[in-house]
Amino acid sequence: MPQLAPPLVPGSLAPPRDEPEPAREPASTPPPVPDGGLGDLDLGLELEEIAENSINNTVVVESEQDSKIMVGKEQESEIMVGKEQARAKVTHSIVFVTGEASPYAKSGGLGDVCGSLPVALAARGHRVMVVMPRYLNGTSDKNYANAFYTKKHIRIPCFGGDHEVTFFHEYRDSVDWVFVDHPSYHRPGNLYGDKFGAYGDNQFRYTLLCYAACEAPLVLELGGYIYGQNCMFVVNDWHASLVPVLLAAKYRPFGVYKDSRSILVIHNLAHQGVEPASTYPDLGLPPEWYGALEWVFPEWARRHALDKGEAVNFLKGAVVTADRIVTVSKGYSWEVTTAEGGQGLDELLSSRKSVLNGIVNGIDINDWNPATDEHIPYHYSADDLSGKAKCKAALQKELGLPIRPDVPLIGFIGRLDYQKGIDLIKLIMPNLMREDIQFVMLGSGDQELEDWMRSTESNFRDKFRGWVGFSVPVSHRITAGCDILLMPSRFEPCGLNQLYAMQYGTVPVVHATGGLRDTVENFNPFGDNGEQGTGWAFAPLTTENMLWTLRTAISTYREHKSSWEGLMKRGMSKDFTWDHAAEQYEQIFQWAFIDQPYVR
Ligand SMILES: Nc1ncnc2c1ncn2[C@@H]1O[C@H](COP(=O)(O)OP(=O)(O)O[C@H]2O[C@H](CO)[C@@H](O)[C@H](O)[C@H]2O)[C@@H](O)[C@H]1O
């Protein structure tokens, strides 16, 4: 085994520097304190003592204080929905670790969730930090404009050297947004790759993120207080998966983070962060921890006869060492334990069933609300749908399609990826184009599918539009302007677009899998209390089935106007806000703290 990095002395990655202390930022989250506030604490205590006392022990927070829910952000964007803001009974110091969070950086649903769940938890009284890279690519740099340079530097012993990273910080929506800065996060292209594919150094980039995330609660005084050692780490997907391994291998043996817990949130099992076994020494982990990350490809997946299939797998490391595991829907929490849905990790995940739960994602109704959405030209609600018809006409105009209120407008939004079943849409398109419909697709990814979208558009100029690219405003306008949203995903851990669609009175037609099955209720014209359902969820996933279901939806749209309005309104009245999901996460936190942390 090659020379490994020396053991890390936890909390000491920050080199002593002769720099002046960083200027304090104007505001930040204080640690959770009893209702009496800081005034009740003995101010004679040392700073760290105060932090320890108030962070380590969970604190009961009174509920029912606020008379209105502040669903959101800055004062001007607050929406008072007339409900009381629910508060957690027990609060924690929570550290989210993620490869992306909206609005700073987003490539898909992970960004949405990590941009809004922390805010929802903070609103319930928790002290919440989100640690993610500070991506600078020349175009989205302005997203980080309000982040302060903290002047905190740490050196991370991995990949054959000591790599210096620094931290930036912004306090927004009662959350401490912490950005890890390193030159490897500054490059053109998207977050994880460019037109040539995934970046070759992603393992290095996210190893840095994980080390930095473990140090941040110990070294960053945010608003004057560190988070301390008793945190709830919420690690998202493979990018953050080294965190529970580091806690177990490099911190707990030194008595640090003994009272912290970690939860792995699986948004997508398809990406696991797998690299050759020879990279293990680069990670700076003790040799005896190799087994936690060890991964052997089945024979059929090996490249040649001499290939032993030996690899390291970040996500697997977290499945083994995290204290609890959450998937983003209940349906998916079962699917990941099956050979069909487990992407090779099914047996391992089955062995951890006792700590595996599913929680359906929520949506950020500050961003996704047809009554207030800044990206759509007209606003509307379930009580007055007239704005939706106007949004449809505006979208048709924007796309250069004939402006026809009577024609069903079908939409698709998503990454052009095998997961999303776009190849199946491609197969049914010739048949679909025989119908009197319009179809708009927004997506980027697979080059071949992008080309197919362009050529379909040129073949069906008055019926089809393919918008190749990533545009959040356009995704809102499509969600508002379409009548039907199609999601034939092969697998879908949760899916957010069907939730957005329902919120906007756009009826989803989805493959009944994972979170899609959990959230879209099949239309039933003969339910006990009259018509029921919010869309169509079909299975199995075949082109015939998809086409048949779409035709059923189209004829319902054309011939049963009142049923259609019922479908729209039932979808719009569903409560998909984060508060419900946040409460379920709190239950998981509670269970995690009841159990002992992972130790070997
Ligand atoms: N071209 C484009 N332009 C603008 N916006 C675009 C876009 N392509 C996609 N988006 C946006 O990206 C998000 C996609 O979210 P999804 O949950 O549907 O899928 P994703 O597979 O990325 O997420 C994974 O993580 C999430 C979060 O847990 C799970 O819901 C999901 O099942 C899992 O696969 C939506 O906000 C969508 O509007």
3-state secondary structure 385-437: CHHHHHHHHHHHHHHCCCCCCCCCEEEEECCECHHHCHHHHHHHHHHHCCCCC
Q: What is the pLDDT of residue 309?
A: 87
The alpha carbon of 59 and the centre of ligand 1 are apart by a number of angstroms equal to: 35
Q: What pLDDT band is residue 33 in, cutting at 50, 70 and 90?
A: very low
Whether residue 110 has its Cβ less than 6 Å from ligand 1: yes
Tell me the C-alpha distance between 220 and 504, whole Å: 41
Q: What pLDDT band is residue 82 in, cutting at 50, 70 and 90?
A: low
The two tokens of residue 58 are 């969970």
The alpha carbon of 536 and the centre of ligand 1 are apart by a number of angstroms equal to: 20
Nearest CA to ligand 1 atom 19: 109
The alpha carbon of 357 and the centre of ligand 1 are apart by a number of angstroms equal to: 21
Tell me the C-alpha distance between 401 and 36, whole Å: 61
Q: Are 510 and 496 a contacting pair, CB within 8 Å?
A: no
pTM, rounded to two decimals: 0.87
Nearest ligand 1 atom to the CA of 442 is 1
Whether residue 442 has its Cβ less than 6 Å from ligand 1: yes
Nearest CA to ligand 1 atom 5: 472
pLDDT tops 70 at residue 63: no
Whether residue 480 has its Cβ less than 6 Å from ligand 1: no
The two tokens of residue 157 are 């012993």
Whether residue 335 has its Cβ less than 6 Å from ligand 1: no
pLDDT in tens, 273-287: 999 999 999 999 999
The alpha carbon of 414 and the centre of ligand 1 are apart by a number of angstroms equal to: 6
Whether residue 542 has its Cβ less than 6 Å from ligand 1: no
Q: What pLDDT band is residue 207 in, cutting at 50, 70 and 90?
A: very high
pLDDT in tens, 487-535: 999 999 999 999 999 999 999 999 999 999 999 999 998 887 789 999 9
Whether residue 301 has its Cβ less than 6 Å from ligand 1: no
Query: What mean pLDDT value characterizes the chain?
Result: 88
φ, ψ of residue 239 in degrees (nearest 5): -60, -30
What letter represents residue 542's amino acid?
T
Whole-number percent of the chain with pLDDT over 70: 86
Of the given ranges (142-146, 321-325, 436-440, 445-449), which has the lowest mean pLDDT? 445-449
Whether residue 417 has its Cβ less than 6 Å from ligand 1: no
Of the given ranges (188-197, 364-373, 382-391), which has the lowest mean pLDDT? 188-197
Tell me the C-alpha distance between 101 and 203, whole Å: 19
What letter represents residue 96's amino acid?
F
Tell me the C-alpha distance between 92 and 263, whole Å: 13
Instruction: Select from 110, 113, 516 the residue to mutate for testing ligand 1; criterion: most ligand atoms less than 8 Å from CB.
Output: 110
Q: Are 480 and 456 a contacting pair, CB within 8 Å?
A: no
pLDDT in tens, 406-420: 999 999 999 999 999
Chain-centre distance for alpha carbon 218: 25
- C-alpha distances (whole Å) from 407 to each of 303, 389, 424, 430, 438 are 50, 12, 23, 18, 7
The alpha carbon of 107 and the centre of ligand 1 are apart by a number of angstroms equal to: 7
Nearest ligand 1 atom to the CA of 472 is 4
- The residue that leads in pLDDT, 24 or 150, is 150
The alpha carbon of 507 and the centre of ligand 1 are apart by a number of angstroms equal to: 18
pLDDT in tens, 180-205: 999 999 999 899 998 888 999 999 99
Instruction: Select from 114, 116, 267 the residue to mutate for testing ligand 1; criterion: most ligand atoms less than 8 Å from CB.
Output: 267
Of the given ranges (74-83, 113-122, 274-283), which has the lowest mean pLDDT? 74-83
Residue 381 burial (CB count, 10 A): 15
φ, ψ of residue 599 in degrees (nearest 5): -135, 155
pLDDT tops 50 at residue 37: no
pLDDT tops 80 at residue 11: no
